[in-house]
Structures are given as C-alpha cells and as structure tokens.
Structure 1
Amino acid sequence: MKALNRKTKETDINASLELYGSGKNSIDTGIGFFNHMLESFSKHSLIDLDIKCIGDLDVDYHHSVEDCGIVIGKLLNDSLYPAKNIERFGFSSIVMDEACVECSIDISNRAFLVFDIPLIDKIGINKVGSFDCELVEEFFKALTSNAALSMHIVYKRGKNSHHIIEACFKSFAIALRNALKINERITIPSTKGVV
C-alpha cells in the first residue's frame, strides 16, 4: 500500500493505493460525478484506492480534478517501477450503451498521452451535471505524466457525454489491469533490460 499527502493553496489531498487489490475504494473529492468515475476505475482495475480531496470548489473543479490526477499518478509510479514480471502492454474496448471507447497502455516509464475524445460541442460548452467535460483530459494528462505511462484513449462512437466519459475511465481501468497481469516468464519487459 502506497500513501501520499499533497497540500497546495488550492487542494489538500490524502490518498492511498494498493496496485494488486480487489477494487475496494473510499472516494471523496467533493465532486459527485468525479467520485463516480474514480470508483468505477478502482472497481474495474482491481486497484484499491482511497482518496480524500479538499479543494477550492468555489473557484472551479479544475484544481481538484487535476491534482487528484497528479496524486494518483504519483502513487501508480511508486507502485509500478521498476517494472518486472508483468505483461506491460494492455488494451481494452469498452461499450457503455451507444458509446464505445478504446484504451491502449504501455507501462513504459515514459509519459505520453493521446486523448482523442470529442467531448466539447461546437460552441465550447459541455457538462455532465456541474462537471466540465474538458476536465477529463486534464485528469488523464496529470495522471499519465506523473505515472510515466504511455496511453492512447480513443473515441469510437457515442453521443451521451456521461457514457463516453465513463467508458474512458472503464477502458483505462481494464487496459491497466491487463498490463499489470503477472507473467514470471517475461522478467524485465524490455529489450533494454530496464523499464
């Protein structure tokens, strides 16, 4: 179990993560929809995640969502590297009713994100409840850069923003779970001899 406290003028976050857990979680970010997405990530990745975020929600949700991404990314990084005896690569295509999103992951120790998800409408406004859809990309940017993952999250189809976003989090969860599968035959999953 890895734990981290990160406190800034904008957020105060206490979190812990168990990479090979059972999907147990306790999530309180003060943002209902975001809580739902992180609970879904934990459940489907089988990663135990506890996170409590006190943020400046009176200003905007941006700081809380981005900083949660930073903290979860750092906890993943501390748990993943040096990578050994894992599959390393993972893929998932997740359907949520009419929506379908794919996620491909390389536990590479190199940060790179392709986020090809059309969530903002033509006039630049899109929300799920009070949650700004543009924050989904901010979360994944913060997470991948701090976890040092290479990841592509790609829209296949869909119209409902809630379904598309939830498919993003679920496809990420399943792709990561697949990449983390233990395989003793692989030893170091790189021709370089280190990840």
Structure 2
Amino acid sequence: MNVSLARETKETKIALTFDPEGTGKVAVETGIPFFDHMLTGMARHGGFDLTCTVTGDLGVDSHHTIEDTGIVLGDAIKAAIGEGRGIRRFAHAIIPMDESLAQVALDCGGRGYLVYTGTFGARTLGNIPPDLFEHFFYTLCIHAGITAHIRFTGRNDHHQCEAMFKAFGIALGEALAKSGKTKEIPSTKGTF
C-alpha cells in the first residue's frame, strides 16, 4: 500500500511517500546529509520504498526537521498498517557494522512506545546532536503505533547509528510483510 502524506508548519514543509511493499527505492532530501544517509539505509535494507523531501528551519538547528520527519513517517507507517490484516506484526533484527552491533525488536500492533539503550561518544554526528536520534525514533513510534526496543553498542558513532537505522528498517520491513498464512488481524483482541 503506497501512502503519500504532506505536512506544513511554520518550521517545516514535508512531502513523503512510503510503500512497505516496495523494493527499496529511496529518494531522500532533508537538507541534512547524514540524516539522509541514515534514512536511505533504513529504507533500502528494509526493502520498502521511501521518498521524502523536507524544507526545514535549518538556520535554527536540525531539531524540527528531524522531529517532523519522524511525525510524517510515523503517520505514513500507521496509514500503511491500517487494520493490520495479514501482516506479521512482530519482527526483530540484529545488525553488525564492524565493531558496532544494533538490535531492534518491533511490535506494529498499535501501541507506540520506545525503549532506547545506547550512547554516542561524540557531541554531534553529522552536525546532529545525538539525542535527536532517540527523539526521531520516539516520535516515529508514537505516531506509527509501534513498540520498539532499540539497543546498540560499539566504539564508532557512525557505525552504531548506521547499524541502528538499518536494523530498524529490516525489522520494520519484516513486521509489515504479509505473513501469507492468514488475512486476519494479528491480535487476540481482533483489532489493534
């Protein structure tokens, strides 16, 4: 299901498309090259299509651009999930990148929550304060209705961050994939 959303505030203007049944075609332009790199890796390795164009108040800082991208991507994921009929719902990924390791476990069952365990050593990553990565995933999860447990370790901040985004993408792609076993909603409640 291809979802297209747009959002415009005094701080950002975002146009985004998300297709969980895509092939990993990605075109991302947020004005923040490192963030573009992370989103591209997440989508490509997750096997979903993502286009995202953002104009943000980068003269202030990167916070609004990253946060609002999380809002719109989360809303798009939630729209793609819909009732959740036939999706796997749960998935996890463990991804190494040299000395770093990221683990992500997801439940796409309608309850937004984030457990985020890991720290970066640098004050910035690609000119982004590292706390914004946790904030991005928190915002995305709340808007998408995803419970996520993200854990990462390593020495190289770039490797840790990239492994985390790729692991999230892989887990998301698997959680949203059709199970092929049933077209039911994967919940004992019968609904998310």
TM-score, normalized by the shorter chain, greater than 0.5: yes
Alignment of 1:25-104 (within 5 A): 25-104=26-105
Q: TM-score, normalized by length of structure 1?
A: 0.94
Q: Report Cα offsets for 1:65-107 as digits up to 9, x if no partner.
A: 0000000000000000200112111010000100001000001
Q: Report Cα offsets for 1:21-69 as digits up to 9, x if no partner.
A: 0010110000000000011011011111111100000100000000000
Alpha-carbon separation, structure 2, partners of 1:78 and 1:25: 19
Q: Which runs of 5+ in 1 are unaligned?
A: none
Comparing 126-135 and 54-63, the one that deviates more: 126-135
Task: Give the counterpart of 1:132 among 129, 132, 136.
Answer: 129
Q: Report Cα offsets for 1:138-169 as digits up to 9, x if no partner.
A: 110110010000110012x3011100110110
Q: Which runs of 5+ in 2 are unaligned?
A: none
Alignment of 1:1-195 (within 5 A): 1-119=2-120, 121=121, 126-155=123-152, 157-186=153-182, 187-195=184-192
How many residues were matched structurally? 190
* SS of alignment partner, residue 165 of structure 1: helix
Alpha-carbon separation, structure 2, partners of 1:57 and 1:133: 16
Q: What fraction of aligned residue pairs are identical, expressed as a percent?
A: 39
Contact conserved, 2:13 with 2:56, CA < 8 A, in 1? yes
- Which amino acid letter does the alignment assign opposite residue 133 of structure 1? P
- Which amino acid letter does the alignment assign opposite residue 21 of structure 2? Y
Q: Report Cα offsets for 1:105-155 as digits up to 9, x if no partner.
A: 001101010011212x4xxx6212312211101110110010000110012
Contact conserved, 1:23 with 1:43, CA < 8 A, in 2? yes
* SS of alignment partner, residue 128 of structure 1: coil
Alpha-carbon separation, structure 2, partners of 1:101 and 1:149: 18
